[in-house]
Amino acid sequence: MNRYNIPENAIITVAGTVGVGKSTLTGALAERLNFQTSLEQVDHNPYLEKFYHDFERWSFHLQIYFLAERFKEQKKMFELGGGFVQDRSIYEDTGIFAKMHADQGTMSKTDYDTYTSLYEAMVMTPYFPHPDVLICIGRQPAVDPHPDQMTTRARWKSRRMSPTGSICTDVIPSGSMSSAPVRCCA
């Protein structure tokens, strides 16, 4: 136990849209708590570049890839005994990004239904290790990302998706994770 009464084996996940400051907050929390960080890895994603050129063709593939990678990362953090702050969660994709693609028509209804069915079977079970705390951060919808963030992040590129999110200050304990949908930052 540290001076904040947070168990040394806790898993804290920071959620939010692209460019909102997840990695910055993750680093600050990890340093303060003497935890390890688990940062989203995008450098070796085989679908990301293709996705930015053709949303309709690659949105389902990209979401399945993220689901698999985030599932493995979540499992690894628990197998290592916790003590992590994570900068992107498995929970955001289904309720935010995959849903946005389905709503905008860049993912078919069949693909979205398949994705959400797989997500629910993998993640929304008592067998999947949920984080102890989920912190959602966001921007007001009218605020665009800072230009420095856009030029330093390859993920921004030119695209049709809105990079903004809503303000979300919810902190959701893991006990409610399996029954409470993550509604933040949509």
Neighbour-count burial for 91-102, b at 16+ CB within 10 Å, e otherwise = bbbbbbbbbebb
Q: Which residues does the annotation mark as catalytic?
A: 87
The token pair at 59 is 């949105």
Higher pLDDT, 1 or 152: 1
Burial 158-175 (b: 16+ CB within 10 A, else e): eeeeebbbeebeeebeee
Position with higher pLDDT, 9 vs 156: 9
Please give the mean pLDDT across all residues of the chain.
78
Parallel/antiparallel/unpaired status of strands 133-136 and 84-86 = unpaired
What are 77-136's pLDDT values in tens digits?
A: 999 999 999 998 888 888 888 999 999 999 999 999 999 999 999 999 888 888 999 998
* Sheet strands side by side (includes 36-38): 36-38, 84-86, 11-15, 133-136, 171-173
- Identify the pLDDT of residue 174: 40
Q: Which of 3-12, 50-59, 91-100, 161-170 has the lowest mean pLDDT?
A: 161-170
Q: Residue 164 pLDDT more than 70?
A: no
d(CA 27, CA 87): 9
Q: How confident is the model at residue 16 (pLDDT cuts 50, 70, 90)?
A: confident
Backbone angles phi, psi at 140, to 5 degrees: -70, 145
pLDDT at 180 > cutoff 50: no
Output the pLDDT for position 146.
52
